[in-house]
Amino acid sequence: MNAVAHYTSAFAGSESGLPGSAVPWLVEKRRAAMALVGKSGFPTTRDEAWRYTDVAQLLTVPFAPAKSSAAQRAVTLAENAGLADAHRLVFVDGVYIAEASRLAGLPEGVIVTNLAAALGTHPERVRAAFGKVVTDERHGFAALNTAMASDGAVVMVPRGVHIEKPIEVLVVASNQVQPVGAHLRNLLVLEASASATVVEHYMGDGNAVSFTNCVTEVMLAENASLTHVKAQREGQSAFHVATIACEQQRSSRFYSCSAAAGGALARTEITSALLGEGADAQLFGAYVARGRQHVDHTTFLDHAVAHCTSNELYKGVMGDMARGVFNGKILVRKDAQKTAAFQSNRNILLSDAAVIDTRPQLEIYADDVKCSHGATIGRLDEEALFYLRARGIDRQTAQRILTQAFAGEVVESIASPAIRALVSSVVDEALTRALHGGVS
C-alpha cells in the first residue's frame, strides 16, 4: 500500500476518535486536508523546500496512532526529564498525559492547555488560530497533521501579560512494537505586548521506529514577544518532521532556537512572515549528526513590509556518514525598504563520508536594504587541535572542546540559563556520540 492510501485508510479508521469529532468546522477541515493529501501526496526532492531531504523511506513505514495507552515507563521518563521550573504539557505517542503535566500558577486569563481540552473550553479561539499560519497547502505533512492531529499544546496569552516561567511541551515517543505516528498541532497565540517562552522538547524512550509530525502555528500581535526553543533528541530510529510557522505584527519579536540531535531523519522547517513594521526575527540552530542520520533545517523569512530585521545563525557538526541540510531563504518584498536581514550557516565535517548541503538564498525586490548571507563548510582546525593536545588534552577531548565551542555560539544565544543548560546538554551529548564515531 502506498503512503497516501495507508494514511487515507488510517484516517478513516481513527477519525471518530480524534478530538473535535463533534465540532463541524474541524471535521470538515480534517476531511478537506485528507482529501488534499490524497490529491497532492507528499513532498519529493523535486520540491524546492525538500530538495535535499528524501522522505521515501519514512513513507514506506505504516505508522499508525498508538493503540495501547501510554507506557508507564515513558510517562516516568517524561516526569524526570526536561526543565525543573516550568509549566508543562506532556504528550506520549501523541496522547496528552494530564498527570505528568504541570499547569498550576499561570497568570489570570492565560490559556495553557491541550488542544482537545481547548476545543471544549475555547472552541472559537481554537478555530481562529488553527490552520491560519500553516495552511494545508504548505506540504503533505502539514495537511496530514491537520487531518490526524491527536492533540497538541495551546498557549494563548492575553494583551500585556508576561508568563514568567517557560512552558515546556514535552513530547515522548515510547518504545512501542507497532510503529507509532504522532501528529501534534500546537497553537501559540500572543496578543499585543504579551510575552512567553515555549520549549518544545522531543525525546524517545528506546530505539523504536516512530514518527513525530508536528505543526506549530505562532501568531504574534503588535509588540508581542515569543522565545521558542526546540530540543530534538529522539532515538536513532525516529522520523521527525516539524513545521513551525510564525506571523509577526508590528514590533513583535520572534526568537527561535532549534537543536537537532536525534532521529534517523529529522527535518525542521521554521518560517516567519514579518507583516508589521519593526518586527524582528532571530533564528538560531545547532544540529549534530552521526551514523547515517539525516538532519535538515529549512527556513524561510518573508520580509513583507519596511523596517523589519532578521538574523539567522545555524551551525552543524556532521560525523560518520551523516548528512546535514541547511536550506534557508530570505525574501525581501518590494515594499520592505530598510530591511536588515542576515543569514549565516556554518558547518564542520568530522569525517570524509559526512555530507552537508547548504543553500542560503536571498531574494530581494526592494532597493534600500542591508542583507547578507553566507555559508562555510570546514574541518576542525588542526592548529587549534594541536595546541590543545600539546597542553595534555587528549585528542577526543580536544575535538569535543572545539566542537562544543563551535556550537556554543548558538547555545549562548538562549537567554534563560535553565533552557540553555537543557539545549547545551542535548548538543554536547550528541557531539560526544558523534566524536566516538558510533554508527547507528
Partner 1 sequence: MLVIHDLHARIDGKEILRGLSLTVKPGEVHAIMGPNAAGKSTLAKVLAGREEYEVTKGSVTLDGKSLLELSPEERAWEGVFLGFQYPVEIPGVTNAYFMRSAVNAVRKHRGEPELDAGAFLKLAREKMKLVAMDEKMLNRAVNEGFSGGERKRNEIFQMAMLAPKLAILDETDSGLDIDALRVVANGVNALRSPDRALIVITHYQRLLDYLVPDVTHVLLGGRIVKTAGKELALELEQRGYEWLQAGAQA
Q: Which stretches of the chain bind partner 1, using CB under 8 A?
A: 381, 383-384, 386-395, 397-398, 401-402, 404-406, 408-409
The gap between the terminal CA atoms of the chain, to the nearest Å, is 28
Question: Which whole-number Å values give the CA distances from 174 to 110, 204, 238, 388, in the listed order?
Answer: 30, 6, 11, 41
Backbone torsion region of residue 82, taken as left when φ is above 0, otherwise alpha when ψ lies between -120 and 50, otherwise beta: left
Which amino acid is located at 220 in the chain?
Answer: L
Place of cell 538574523: 311
Backbone torsion region of residue 392, taken as left when φ is above 0, otherwise alpha when ψ lies between -120 and 50, otherwise beta: left
Question: Nearest to residue 66, comparing CAs of 145, 177, 170, 154?
Answer: 177
Measured from the CB atom, the residue of 1 and 415 that comes closer to partner 1 is 415
Which amino acid is located at 152 in the chain?
Answer: G
**Separation between Cα atoms, residue 147 and residue 36, nearest integer Å:** 10
**Separation between Cα atoms, residue 285 and residue 386, nearest integer Å:** 28
**Separation between Cα atoms, residue 171 and residue 100, nearest integer Å:** 11
**Separation between Cα atoms, residue 399 and residue 434, nearest integer Å:** 10
Question: Which whole-number Å values give the CA distances from 293 to 44, 107, 179, 336, 367, in the listed order?
Answer: 18, 41, 19, 38, 41
Backbone torsion region of residue 404, taken as left when φ is above 0, otherwise alpha when ψ lies between -120 and 50, otherwise beta: alpha
Q: Order of strands, edge to edge, in the sheet holding 210-220?
A: 111-114, 153-157, 180-190, 210-220, 238-248, 265-274, 294-303, 323-332, 355-364
CB 112 within 8 A of CB 221: no
Q: Is 50 helix (H, G, I), strand (E, B) or coil?
A: helix
H/E stretch holding 396: helix 395-411
**Residue 375 buriedness (CB in 10 A; 0-12 / 13-18 / 19+):** middle
Measured from the CB atom, the residue of 75 and 259 that comes closer to partner 1 is 259
Measured from the CB atom, the residue of 24 and 392 that comes closer to partner 1 is 392
